[in-house]
Amino acid sequence: MILGLTGAIGCGKSTACSYFAQKGWRLFDADKSCHALYRDINAPLGKAIRDEWGAECFNGDGTLNRQVLAERVFTSDSELEKLTQLIYPALFEAMEKEIAAARAANVNMLCEVPLLFECETEKYFDMTCTVWSGRELRHSRLRKFRNFTDEDIGRREARQWSAEKKLEAADVAFINNGGPEFLYRQIDDFIKEHV
């Protein structure tokens, strides 16, 4: 099975992915793949980012300063659209290769794609799932574990589908309002039923 996983920021997608990996699933992380594509100022996409948003988006050692880039692209839909148009062709090519390799090896694969529905990538997957958590819990996690301010959270949430809209669109939902064990039991049940 090739399963596409999404969820609003702070819902616990990484926790779910880690558990699928423990269960032997191959993983593709769209965010990590993106970071590899523009990891430094000398990478082709790094140069494009520098040209569009300035050398200030990079640290002194030439690596991307994700905080500065986020401050520039999460200010408007048009700026975020510019970034996605730069990145997505290469990202989707990398994902297609990973999916093809998983199918050829006959292994289960989980693809974590935060903007799965926004970018209309459902076609790549046998099923889609979302990890869902309530708003206050999501925001609390983001403040505690990622040092996000309310402004940081608001900027990102304004550019994505809501947690509820993703919940409605997905084939399967994992509710992450309890502890990790509650989430893990749901994943175990899903695997037993569908794989």
Answer whether residue 46 is part of any domain: yes
- Look up the CATH number of the domain holding residue 171: 3.40.50.300
- Structure confidence by residue, pLDDT tens digits, 93-122: 999 999 999 999 999 999 999 989 998 999
Q: How many CA atoms lie within 13 A of 95 on its CB side?
A: 26
- Residue 37 domain flag: yes
CB count within 10 Å of CB 181 equals: 8
For residue 122, the enclosing domain spans 1-25+108-195
Q: What pLDDT shows up at residue 174?
A: 98
Are residue 65 and residue 131 in the same domain, yes or no?
no
- One domain for residues 4 and 42: no
Euclidean distance between CA atoms 22 and 168, whole angstroms? 27
* DSSP line for 128-194: EEEEE--HHHHHHHHHHHH---HHHHHHHHHTS--HHHHHHHSSEEEE-SS-HHHHHHHHHHHHHHH
Among 72, 98, 124, residue at a domain's last position: 98
Q: Are residues 21 and 112 in the same domain?
A: yes
Asked if the structure places residue 184 within a domain, the reply is yes
> Does 85 fall in a domain?
yes
Rounded Cα distance, 167 and 116, in Å: 12
Do residues 82 and 46 both lie within one domain? yes
Within a domain: 103:
no
151 and 186 in a single domain? The answer is yes
Number of structural domains found in the chain? 2
For residues 132 and 167, the answer to whether their CB atoms sit within 8 Å is yes
Give the pLDDT confidence of 142-172 residue by residue, as tens digits. 999 999 999 989 988 988 899 999 999 999 9
84 and 145 part of one domain = no
Examine the domain organization and report whether 118 and 90 are in the same domain: no
**Residue 66: which residues within 8 A CB-CB, separation 6 or more?**
35
Instruction: Give the pLDDT of residue 76.
Output: 84
Q: Please report whether residue 141 resides in a domain.
A: yes
In a domain, residue 131? The reply is yes
Cβ neighbours for 29, distance < 8 A, ≥ 6 positions apart? 17, 112
Is the domain of 113 the same as that of 195? yes
* 112 lies in the same domain as 170: yes
Would the pLDDT of 1 be above 90? yes
